Amino acid sequence: MADREAAEADPAPPRGPDAAAATPAVRTVHGSAERRSPPHVYPLSPINRSHLDAMSDSTGVWQFAVGTAPRRVHGYCTDDVARALVVDVLHGRMLGWTAVADSVERALRFLAEAFDQDTGRFRNMRDADRRWIGGADSEDCHARALLGLGTLLAWHRDSRTTTDAGTLFFRALPAAGALTAPRPIAAAILACAEANRGDFLAARPTLEALGARLAALFERLDASWPWPEDVLTYENALLPRALITLGRVLGDPGLVERGCGVLDWLIRVQTSANGSFSPVGNRGWWSRGGKRAAFDQQPIEAGSTALAATTAFAATGRDRYREAAEAAYAWFLGGNDLGSVVADVDRGGCRDGLGPAGPSENEGAESTLMWLMTLETIRHMREG
């Protein structure tokens, strides 16, 4: 959903201490083979759900924001509710079940209402009056909903909630077999791996089938462009993260190394000469053989890279992945091309993007959830 967040970004000049650092300089060169210094290690802030709570009501999480206030006219999105469920689990592991129980229950209720029994798929868009908006079901939405449910199944701290989540997960699982786009396939693999980790072993056949499909996309690719698409777009690191996870579940070191190789390339081409994370911007993306878009950089890119790098670090113990995860985390806190802080640490929110003049003033759901997810992932990595 990076496209919809970017449409709301409206980048504005940064204020206060970021202003001087945000003056665009000469663009750095990406993909250099030179050895770079490890990234600066930025501090970890305490868990803060203030903005997430402000962006939520009794139904779910509002998609967009005007500044820090919900933009209710655009309603809700299943993608965001599923991400919020992942954040709830991450926070619950630190704070305990009671702290997130109401939010988890709300997310499960939303996903149950989103499930269309006739198609076996999740509906994605819901207006401010709680009516579902018609249109073709989104593969991203379906896989993202499964990932939220699978993450909850791997935690299973409440028996009734686990039963409800498991019932919904397995009702929706058959439709995952029809997924065709790389990112939904990757997200569904991660969902099945989480469910499998929670001893819901019936997810294993779907994981293996989708895994074969994803692995095939990365066979016989050009070493100069080891990517299954001609354009590098959004949430790219989700794919190697799924390959690495798949390899670990199946006990296949070859798949782990294939995923690490793809991730190495993504890290290299999205690292500036000074070692900071510099993701492909969605103001044009990056077509093979074309010019790489510098802006608008999205929190989903930094977040997905941090998650993939920590997955690779857990699988291999290689320091370069720990450093890559720290660099992606640093992007939120000023370790980026403009030296501008993107995360709203005081409220637990995040700006919707980094444009050439600085961060957006708006703090929508996807951006905020990716920040919260990244923060807890890095916290877990540092604590070992």
CA angle, residues 344, 346, 349, in degrees to nearest 5: 35
pLDDT of residue 38: 54
pLDDT of residue 40: 78
For 205-219, how does the pLDDT look when each residue is reduced to its tens digit (9 = 90+)?
Answer: 999 999 999 999 999
pLDDT of residue 18: 31
pLDDT of residue 37: 54
Position 333, amino acid:
L
- How many domains are contained in the chain? 1
My answer on whether omega of the bond before 222 falls inside 30° of 0, hence cis, is: no
Residues of the chain below pLDDT 50: 1-29, 31-35
CA angle, residues 154, 157, 158, in degrees to nearest 5: 120
The answer to whether 242 touches 308, Cβ cutoff 8 Å, is no
pLDDT of residue 384: 84
CATH of the domain at 189: 1.50.10.10
Residue 126 three-state SS: strand
For the beta carbon of residue 128, count every other beta carbon within 10 angstroms.
15
The answer to whether 210 touches 192, Cβ cutoff 8 Å, is yes
What is the domain extent for residue 60? 2-383
Tell whether pTM > 0.85: yes
Nearest to 262 by CA among 306, 187, 312: 312
For 271-330, how does the pLDDT look when each residue is reduced to its tens digit (9 = 90+)?
Answer: 999 999 999 999 999 999 999 999 999 999 999 999 999 999 999 999 999 999 999 999
